[in-house]
Structures are given as C-alpha cells and as structure tokens.
Structure 1
Amino acid sequence: MIKSEFYYPSCDGVNQLHCVLWEPEGEEVKGVLQISHGMVEYIERYEYFAAQLTKAGYVVVGNDHLGHGKSVKEDDLGYFAKEEGSKKVVEDLYRITQKMKKKYEGFPYFVMGHSMGSFLIRRYIMTYGNEVDGVVIMGTGFQPAPVLGFGRLTVKVMKALKGERYRSSLCDNLSFGSYNKRIKSARTTKDWLTKDEKIVDAYLNDPYCSFIFTLNGFETLLSTIAFIQDKKNIVKIPKKLPVFMVAGAEDPVGAYGKGVRKVYEIYRNNQIQDIEMKLYPGDRHELVNELDRDVVCQDILSWLEQRTHKTHKMK
C-alpha cells in the first residue's frame, strides 16, 4: 500500500482540506472508494480498513471534514461554517470526487459514509448520486421529528444566549449521554463505540477525538439530518444507485437496528432498486474498528467487487 497526503482547497475559501490517499502497490486497480468520516474523528482512523481494500486492488481516499482533524486549526475543531455548513461539507466531498475521478478516469467510483459521515453521504447522493457507482452507508440512523425538533430548538436557544462557538456540555450529553445504557459495567464513557478496548483507549487519548462540538457544529449536524429525512430530498436519490447499509445491532446511533431498518424501508419505498442491509449481531458503532472488523471489511469488499464487475460490463 502506498500512502500519501495532500491538501485541497475547501469551498469555504478559507481552509485547506487535509486528504489521505491509499493506493494499491503492485496490484491492478479495480476501482476507487471515497470515505466520509464521522463526528469528532478524522480520516486516518480508517487506515486499517483502507489497507484491506488496497490489498484487493481498490484505491481509498478521504478528507478531514471542516471542523475536524488537520483541515482546521485547533480553535475551529467542531465548527463548520458561518452559513450552510452542511452544504459546504458535501460540496467539499464532491471536490475530492472530481479530483479523484480525473486521476482514475474510467474506473468504478464508490462512496462510503460512517455515522455523521453517513448523514453527509446521504445528502451527497441526493445531489451527486448519478456520478458514483454505489454507496456504503455505515452506522447511520433516523431521528423522529419530535426528537429532532427538540434538539434544533435547544441549540437555537443556546446559540442566542452563548453564541455559535460555545461548546455545550449539555448538548454533548443530550447527544451521547445515553449511548452506554445497554452496556453492563461500562469501562469508559465511549464503550459504545466498539468492544475493542485498545481502540476505545486510543480514541479517548486522541486530541482529534476529544473535543466538544460547538453549537454551530450541533446545528450543522441536526440540519443535515433534517435535510436527508425530508421527503422532497429523498426522491432525488437515483433509483438505480446501488446501496449497501451496514451497522452494528448494538449501535445506539442506529437505535440498535431500528433506525437503520427505518432508513432502509424509506429507501425501498422510494423505489431504490439495488439495496441491501446487514446488521452485525453484538457489534457496536464503529464496524471498521470492531473485533470482527475483518468480516465487515470482507463483506464490503465483496459488495464492491460485485458492483465493480457490473460497472465494467456497462462501461
């Protein structure tokens, strides 16, 4: 595997997006997978996953979103943009898509989003779905309208009182405070991420994973969820776009499978033709960091290879 890093201008006109590219070494390239990472993390946490895919001939690329990793200075961690943060982050993803499609012209191109990154990628396919050959939606969820409305109102009131850059422990606790509730004798506050204790400890000790979102960050997150759950936007997803939804059956973000099934049914009801869903028993939120990560990697790889074959035949 050949790993390289580069910076690319964000559409915000201010920041340079930190990007990582993993390319196969000595393998014939089959296709490209672009990753949209989750909340309070960064793209290099996907290195193990990328290594498995490059062994099989896939190029993997991703960037640190605005408000994350090396794309912003420390004070801006958890802050997206003054206006339309969600739209800007999705536009940034597409900028990377355009760059990579030029570099690997003619190859099948797939996108994948995890957690918050899955919400962003669900928005991405509403605009750019016709430009990719498939999407992997990992660790996603669904927010009932009353819960979403309460969250947005809380952020709006706090923003009026404290300003958009305020880091709210209350909002953080409302978002994540209950996530350990099904875990008996939880060792840490982040046990809900994965059963792999080494990963949890590394996460807790990582400065790029230990900040609290600003109110602007929470506002952007909630507005993204509202956007992707709006029926008038859901109908914009191309009906022929292959979709693979994966999640841990013990993932609180997906309401322990219920939220994932809800999204699956919504997409099915919108006539998306090639859609599969797999829930992994016992697995928590971060499938690519779970104890059975190799099984997850192989399942995603098998799905990609099936669609790669179809895409090559069509092209």
Structure 2
Amino acid sequence: MRTSSFEWIADDGKPIFVHVFSPDEGAEVRGVVHVSHGMSEHGARYTRLAEALTARGLVVEAHDHRGHGRTAKSDDELGYFGPGDGFGRVVADLRGLLARARTAYPGLKQALLGHSMGSLIAQGALPAVGDKLGAVLLSGTNGPPSLMARAGVLVAKAERARLGERGKSVVIQGMSFDAWNRTFSPNRTPYDWLSRDAAEVDKYVADARCGFSATTTLWVQLLGAMGTLARPDALARLPKDLPICVVAGSEDPVHERTKNLRGLLDAYAKAGLSDVTYRVYPGARHELFNETNRDEVTREAAEWLVRKLAR
C-alpha cells in the first residue's frame, strides 16, 4: 500500500486535510472508497481498513472533517464545525471531495463509507450524490432521532447560550460519551464503549487527536440535522437501486443497541430502496473496524464493496 496526503481547498477557502491510500505500483485499480470518519477522531485511524481495501484494488481517501485531525489547525478549532450551518458546511465538504475524486480517478466507480458522525454526514450528502455512487456503507449510524436525541438539542442550545459558541459542556458529555460508557460499568477507561479490544481502546486514549469534547455548537448542529436526514423528500432523490449496507454492533449504545436503526431501515423501505443490506455483529460495540472481530467485519465489508463496485 502506498500512502500520501494533500490539502483540498473548500469553496470558502478552508484547507481540508486528506489522507490517501493507494494499491501498490502496478496493481489493478478497481474503484475508489471515500471514508467519512466519526466524532473526536480522524481519517488516519482507518489505515488498517485501507490496507485491506487497497489489497483488493481500491483507492481509499479519508479526509479530516472541520474541527478534527489535521484540518483543525489549533486546539481552539477542535470539535467546532463553524458558525451558522456548520453541519451543512461539512456535508458540502464531502460533496466537494467526492466530486474532486471523480475527476482524479476518471472511469472508476466510487463508494462512500461513513462511520458514526461521519455516517450522518454521509446521509446528509446522499440526496445530492447518490446517483454518482456505486455503493454506500454506514457503520455505527443512526436513524431518525430518538426522544433522548430530540431532548439533547434543547440541552445543547441551552449549554451554547451558557458557555458560548466554542464552549465544551460537561452536561452534554455526560449525556453522550459518559452515558454510553456507563452501560459497560465497571469501566477501565472513559472509552470502553468503543470496543471490546482493550488495546484498541488504549490506542484511542493515547492518540492526541482523539477523545476531545465537541463544542456546544457542533452538538446543536449535529443533533438538529438528524431529523432531516431520512425524510421522505430527501430519500426520494436517491436511486432506487443504490446499494446501501448498514453494519452495526449489537452492543453499540450510540444507536441504542440497534433499536434506533429500525427507523432508518423502515425509511429506506418506504422510499423503495431495493438493495439495502443490514448486518449486526453479536457482542460488538461502536467501532466495528477496531473490534475483536475486526477481521471478519473488514473482510465482509471489503467483499461487499468490491462486489458492488464491480457491477
């Protein structure tokens, strides 16, 4: 596998850092996969997944969202999408990067892989780019907001008014990351909810670009957008035969141990989407590609992507 990187300049002038993983020199290239990472992490964490995908002839690009990874130029930027419609801004970044890749790799089919927050950003982009994609894989995702998520918007707005645009709220942290972790008490770390693999959790804890708190503004923007992603008018714009694969850990607290995914799958069915795959991995937590059964998850995801991009 060959690795490289570049900075893509968004239409508002913001440099977005992009990690690139390519098959070895001379290998056949079969398609392109773009990774949209989760909250409080970054694109380089998908290097091991990229190794499996590049071995099968797929180019992988993974950018660091605004407020994350090497796109965040200072600690003040961490966990902050931006003012106003920050969620719309990161969705526009994803659309722009997908368009850039279509020009950079002409003739190759393109897939989108989104994890957690990144899967919600991917959902937000689908109405505009679904007809240009060969496959979509959503990991650790969510459907229409639960009662807790709807209440979370009100809390996040109150905390933003109290702490400011870039404030970090222990109240919101307690309702999200901390609450998810408590379901696995007694806890070894604050991030046991990510994976059953202690070594993988320790890597996350040790990574200076992981584990930071998101700003009150990001939470307002993200939770506020969740109710719009699976609306009938949005899903009506997707090709009926767009291949979508939803993968989940049975013990992932983020989607309430798969409970919240039912609304998403029902919305896809009502929209007439005919190629939706749903796979639950027993015992797995939030980060499927860093789980104890990651080889199984990675193999099945890679085989599905290659199969769909070869159609």
TM-score (norm 2): 0.95
2-side partners of 1:155 and 1:10: how far apart? 28
Residue number in structure 1 paired with 2:211: 210
Which one is further off, 154-163 or 224-233? 224-233
- CA deviations over 1:137-168 (Å, ceiling 9, x no partner): 11112354532331111121222222111111
SS of equivalent residue, structure 1 residue 258? coil
2-side partners of 1:149 and 1:260: how far apart? 16
Residue number in structure 2 paired with 1:30: 30
Residue number in structure 2 paired with 1:313: none
CA contact (8 A) 1:66 1:80 kept: yes
1:266-305 to 2 correspondence within 5 Å? 266-305=267-306
CA contact (8 A) 1:36 1:63 kept: yes
Which one is further off, 197-206 or 242-251? 197-206
Residue number in structure 1 paired with 2:149: 148
CA contact (8 A) 2:168 2:216 kept: yes
- CA deviations over 1:181-240 (Å, ceiling 9, x no partner): 442532111111011111111111222113111111111211221221433323333322
- CA deviations over 1:239-289 (Å, ceiling 9, x no partner): 221101101111111211222233122211211011100000111100111
2-side partners of 1:24 and 1:215: how far apart? 40
Flag the 1:144–1:256 CA change in 2: closer, same or farther, 3 A. Answer: same
Residue number in structure 1 paired with 2:263: 262
CA contact (8 A) 1:27 1:56 kept: no
Q: Percent identity?
A: 35
Flag the 1:285–1:145 CA change in 2: closer, same or farther, 3 A. Answer: closer
Which one is further off, 225-234 or 151-160? 225-234
Uncovered stretches (5+) of structure 1, i.e. residues with no partner:
311-315
Residue number in structure 2 paired with 1:87: 88
The answer on 1:41 being equivalent to 2:41 is yes
SS of equivalent residue, structure 2 residue 46? helix
Residue number in structure 2 paired with 1:221: 222
Tell me which amino acid in the other structure corresponds to 2:280. Answer: L
2-side partners of 1:142 and 1:177: how far apart? 21
Going by fraction, where is helix more abundant, 1 or 2?
A: 1
The answer on 1:173 being equivalent to 2:168 is no
2-side partners of 1:274 and 1:208: how far apart? 36
SS of equivalent residue, structure 2 residue 302? helix
Flag the 1:184–1:148 CA change in 2: closer, same or farther, 3 A. Answer: closer
- CA deviations over 1:66-102 (Å, ceiling 9, x no partner): 0101102221010111111111111111211112111
Tell me which amino acid in the other structure corresponds to 2:120. Answer: F
The answer on 1:63 being equivalent to 2:66 is no
CA contact (8 A) 2:78 2:214 kept: yes
Displaced runs of 4+ in structure 1, greater than 6 A? none
CA contact (8 A) 2:232 2:267 kept: no
1-side partners of 2:118 and 2:225: how far apart? 10
CA contact (8 A) 2:119 2:141 kept: yes
Uncovered stretches (5+) of structure 2, i.e. residues with no partner:
none
CA contact (8 A) 1:86 1:223 kept: no
SS of equivalent residue, structure 1 residue 246? strand
Cα RMSD after superposing both structures? 1.5
CA contact (8 A) 1:125 1:237 kept: yes
CA contact (8 A) 2:56 2:306 kept: no
Residue number in structure 1 paired with 2:310: 309
- CA deviations over 1:94-153 (Å, ceiling 9, x no partner): 211112111211111100100000111011112211111110011112354532331111
1:95-174 to 2 correspondence within 5 Å? 95-144=96-145, 146-174=147-175
- CA deviations over 1:289-309 (Å, ceiling 9, x no partner): 111111111111111122122
2-side partners of 1:46 and 1:296: how far apart? 13
CA contact (8 A) 1:120 1:224 kept: no
CA contact (8 A) 1:31 1:308 kept: yes
Tell me which amino acid in the other structure corresponds to 1:21. Answer: V
Which one is further off, 199-208 or 229-238? 229-238
Which one is further off, 120-129 or 221-230? 221-230
2-side partners of 1:40 and 1:239: how far apart? 33
TM-score (norm 1): 0.94
2-side partners of 1:260 and 1:169: how far apart? 27
2-side partners of 1:257 and 1:149: how far apart? 18
1-side partners of 2:146 and 2:186: how far apart? 32
